[in-house]
A and B are shown apart, each in its own frame.
Chain A
């Protein structure tokens, strides 16, 4: 049973560029959440997708956008990259519901130079 998978693992981008990160949820999970984790901080909620729609959004600018596909996989897109976007981006999957546990992928390390 495959867990949550993310790609790419590491990438370096230049300020102003755009990046797309990808995530495949754990088998059977229908909800994908994305988090940004800066060094020394806890994961910060970006947004959550369920049934191919953005259901909840954290305090992130519109430069951050996403998508969920019919097979529940998801993408995170960040436009006009800033140095401050350098972080670990975590994808987490779960079943929809209050008691459901989220499981993380290995993350994508983004460095903006």
Chain B
């Protein structure tokens, strides 16, 4: 069974700290990886996508991908209380007929306290 795994948390960090969120996946052939943020009662919104090994930075967010170890992570620098949300890792897993199924982990709850 192809899976995407995340620690459900909650991960609690003080305001201004770096929050580190991790995700592992089982399909070694996966090529596309995404992080979504979901506020309580709302739908997921895309934060970042990453396709190549290494780091990708966008403002306070950095996504890191290591395909050999099959993990992807998200770093949030200078964490703010408004960053408190559930962070979902998604991986495009290959399926039959050349399709790709965006598959999600259960999400990690992040709490940033003042």
Name A residues whose Cβ lies closer than 8 Å to a Cβ of B: 33, 35, 40-45, 48, 50, 55-56, 58, 88, 90, 92, 94, 96-107
**How many residues of chain B are within 8 Å of chain A by beta carbon?**
30
Determine the distance from Cα of A58 to Cα of B103 in the docked complex, in whole angstroms. Answer: 10
Q: Mark B56-99, 1 if CB is under 8 A from A, else 0.
A: 00000000000000000000000000000000101010111101
Contact A56-B94, Cβ < 8 Å, known A42-B88, A43-B44, A101-B46:
no
Q: In the complex, what's the smallest C-beta–C-beta distance from B56 to chain A, in angstroms? A: 14
The answer to whether A101 touches B107 (Cβ under 8 A) is no
The answer to whether B43 touches A107 (Cβ under 8 A) is yes
6 smallest beta-carbon distances between A and B, as pairs: A42-B104, A42-B106, A107-B43, A104-B43, A99-B32, A43-B104
Q: In the complex, what's the smallest C-beta–C-beta distance from B93 to chain A, in angstroms? A: 9
Taking A40-B106, A103-B46 as given, write out 9 further A-B residue pairs in contact, using a Cβ cutoff of 8 Å, ordered by the A residue number. Answer: A42-B4, A43-B44, A45-B103, A90-B44, A99-B92, A104-B36, A104-B44, A105-B43, A106-B43
Contact A98-B46, Cβ < 8 Å, known A48-B101, A55-B97:
no
